[in-house]
Amino acid sequence: MNKSFIFYLAFFAISLGSFGVLDNLRQRNVELLELAMIVAALVCMQRRRDLYAGALLATAALAKLLPFIFFPYLLVKKRWKAAAGFLLISIIIVIATSVTLGWDRYQLFSKGIASSHGMITLEKLSGSKYLCEISQTRGSLYTFFLSFFAKIDMGTYVPVVSYTTDNFFIPNAVFFIVLTVITSLTFWSFYKTGSRGNYFLEFSIISVLMLLVSPRTNPHYYVFTLPGFLNILCIIHDRFKEYNIDLNRQRIIIGLYFASLLSCGNLIPFYVYDKLLPLKNVAYHYFSTYSLFGIGALILWTLLIYIYRNRCLLPLRKGLPAGYTGT
C-alpha cells in the first residue's frame, strides 16, 4: 500500500476521529474557532505577519483565556510586533466589552465561579482545599494527581467520589512542582533557540502546555492537542533519522504516541470502550474521572519537547542552524 495513502488516512482518522473535535461539534463550543485562530496565527508567524499573528492570538485568548499563554511565548521569542499586536487587540476588546456588556456580568469575576474553575486561593495553597474537584465531566493533569487521593465508585452513571484525605497539600504541591518544571523547560527551550526555532513545533507544544497548566479542563478542550498529534504524525511519516532518533527510540515514541492518542479519546470511539469495560456509565466518564485526558496530554508534551530538543536544540549546540538535517 502506498505510504502517502496510509499517511493521509491516518491524518484524517486522527483529525476527524478526535473526541475533542466531535464533542466541539456536538456542543457547538468555541474551542474549534480558537484553534482555527491559533493555526491562522501560526501561518502569519511563518510569513512574518507578526501584527496579525498577535491580534489573532489575543482574540483567541479573550474568547477562552487559555491562549493567554502565547503572550509570554511571544516575549521569549522576541517577536515584539506580535506582542504589540496582542496587547493592542486585547486592550481594544476589553474596552469595547466594558462599554457594551460590562465586565461586572463576567461569571469568572464571581468568587464561587472563579474558585470552582481552579482560581488559586490561600486555602488551596495551604492544602485545606483542592484546586478543582474530580468530576466525570472533565479531567486534567491536576485531577489525575488528585485521583490518587480518592476512592472512585464507577458502578453508577455518575461516579461516586470520596476523598481519602482532608488535607490536599501533597496533590496541590505535586501539581505546582510539575507545572513549574514543564513550563520552565518549555520556555527555556524556546529561549535557547531564539528566532531560529520551528514554529509548528513550538505552537504545538504551547497548545498542549496550556491544557496542562489549567487545573480545570473539559474534554472538548483537548482539541488543542490536535496540532501536536498531527505534528508527530508528520515526523513519523518522514525519516526518523533526520531527527537524530535511533530505531529503539523510534519504537518507544510510536508506542507512547498511540498511548497518548488513546488516552485523549482519539481513533477508537468511546462506545467501543463501553462494550469492553464493565461500567454502567459512558466510557468518556471513565476517561474524565480518572483524568486519562490529562496524562495523555502530558505524554504528548513529553514527546514534543523531546523532538524539539533533537530537532532544534542539539544542532545549535553543535554550531549548526536549528532544524539542521544534514549528515
- Rounded to whole angstroms, the Cα distance separating 277 from 193 reads 46
Concatenated DSSP letters for 156-223?
A: SSS-EEEES-S--HHHHHHHHHHHHHHHHHHHHHHHHHGGGS-HHHHHHHHHHHHHHT-S---GGGGG
In this prediction the pTM is 0.89
Q: Are the C-beta atoms of residues 223 and 16 closer than 8 Å to each other?
A: no
Cell digits for 89? 487587540
Q: Are the C-beta atoms of residues 216 and 117 closer than 8 Å to each other?
A: yes
Q: Are the C-beta atoms of residues 124 and 277 closer than 8 Å to each other?
A: no
- Rounded to whole angstroms, the Cα distance separating 6 from 201 reads 22
- Rounded to whole angstroms, the Cα distance separating 155 from 141 reads 24
Cα separation values, 180 from 11, 137, 161, 204, Å = 33, 26, 28, 19
Q: What is the pLDDT along the chain (327 residues), one digit of tens a residue?
A: 556 777 778 878 888 888 888 888 888 888 999 999 999 999 999 999 999 999 999 999 988 888 999 999 999 999 999 999 999 999 998 888 878 777 666 665 566 665 555 666 666 767 778 888 999 989 999 999 999 999 999 888 888 999 998 889 999 999 999 999 999 999 999 999 987 778 999 999 999 999 999 998 999 999 999 999 999 988 887 766 666 677 888 889 899 999 999 999 898 888 888 888 777 778 889 999 999 999 999 999 999 999 998 888 877 665 555 553 332
Q: What confidence score (pLDDT) does residue 288 get?
A: 92
Q: What are phi and psi of 161, to 5 degrees?
A: -110, 125
3-state SS, residue 135: strand
Rg value, the chain, Cα: 20
Q: Are the C-beta atoms of residues 107 and 113 closer than 8 Å to each other?
A: yes
Q: Are the C-beta atoms of residues 264 and 20 closer than 8 Å to each other?
A: yes
- Rounded to whole angstroms, the Cα distance separating 220 from 171 reads 24
